[in-house]
């Protein structure tokens, strides 16, 4: 009986160590990443993100039941844009208790207000409602990603952009700041989609060392 128990425990322990030694996510608790579609969201795209995040983080990734985009989050000063700051708070407040990280996904355009020294960055007409790819608490539980500004007819390029932004924002959730290392996923886009296109596929060694 003792021999059979040892034979059972060793593979489980080995699998646990492999997962937590190779996963670029903090191993201090059992993680489950939840994907929250906001409004109508392409099922194939959801499945792609689910597959990529599971392969990258080595943790369960579940697709949650879709929620409508709250109409009160809209700003129409530059067309139809939704407040990313309000969305990540809403996501964190409404996530199931079993979900440790929740990623909101929308096709709608999203924005934040860019500030410098406590004031809106100039020119205020540009940065008060600044369109973005994604936003996440640093650290925190929630992030939101929009593919509105990631669109291209080049499908592999689009998938690279989407994967990069999702993993980037989840990096912020784990406490990672922007990284100066070229090609690191945590490198700041600096308002340029070209930075995203040139990104590598993972965190650099400096960022991994912070996790």
Catalytically active residues are: 169
CB burial of 190-208 (b: ≥16 within 10 Å; e: otherwise) equals eeeeeebeebeeebbeebe
For residues 67 and 108, the answer to whether their CB atoms sit within 8 Å is no
Query: What is the C-alpha to C-alpha distance for residues 191 and 49, in angstroms, rounded to an integer?
Result: 23
Query: What is the C-alpha to C-alpha distance for residues 171 and 175, in angstroms, rounded to an integer?
Result: 7
User: How many angstroms separate the most distant Cα atoms in the chain?
Assistant: 73
Compute CA distances 122 → 19, 114, 168, 189, whole Å: 46, 9, 26, 19
For residues 142 and 173, the answer to whether their CB atoms sit within 8 Å is yes
Collapsing DSSP states into helix, strand and coil, what is residue 170?
helix
Query: What is the C-alpha to C-alpha distance for residues 121 and 128, in angstroms, rounded to an integer?
Result: 8
- DSSP single-letter state for residue 75: E
Query: What is the C-alpha to C-alpha distance for residues 190 and 177, in angstroms, rounded to an integer?
Result: 13
């Amino acid at each position: 009986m003792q021999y059979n128990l040892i034979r059972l425990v060793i593979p489980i322990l080995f699998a646990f160590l492999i997962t937590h030694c190779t996963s670029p996510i903090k191993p201090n608790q059992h993680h489950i990443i939840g994907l929250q579609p906001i409004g109508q969201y392409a099922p194939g795209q959801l499945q792609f993100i689910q597959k990529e995040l599971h392969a990258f983080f080595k943790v369960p990734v579940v697709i949650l039941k879709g929620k409508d985009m709250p109409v009160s989050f809209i700003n129409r000063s530059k067309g139809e844009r939704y407040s990313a700051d309000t969305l990540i708070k809403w996501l964190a407040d409404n996530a199931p208790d079993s979900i440790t990280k929740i990623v909101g996904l929308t096709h709608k355009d999203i924005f934040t207000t860019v500030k410098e020294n406590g004031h809106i960055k100039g020119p205020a007409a540009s940065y008060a409602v600044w369109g973005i790819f994604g936003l996440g608490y640093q650290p925190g539980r929630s992030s939101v990603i929009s593919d509105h500004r990631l669109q291209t007819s080049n499908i592999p390029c689009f998938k690279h952009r989407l994967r990069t932004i999702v993993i980037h924002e989840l990096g912020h959730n784990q406490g990672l700041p922007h990284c100066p290392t070229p090609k690191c996923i945590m490198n700041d886009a600096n308002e340029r989609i070209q930075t995203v296109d040139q990104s590598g596929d993972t965190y650099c060694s400096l960022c991994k060392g912070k996790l």
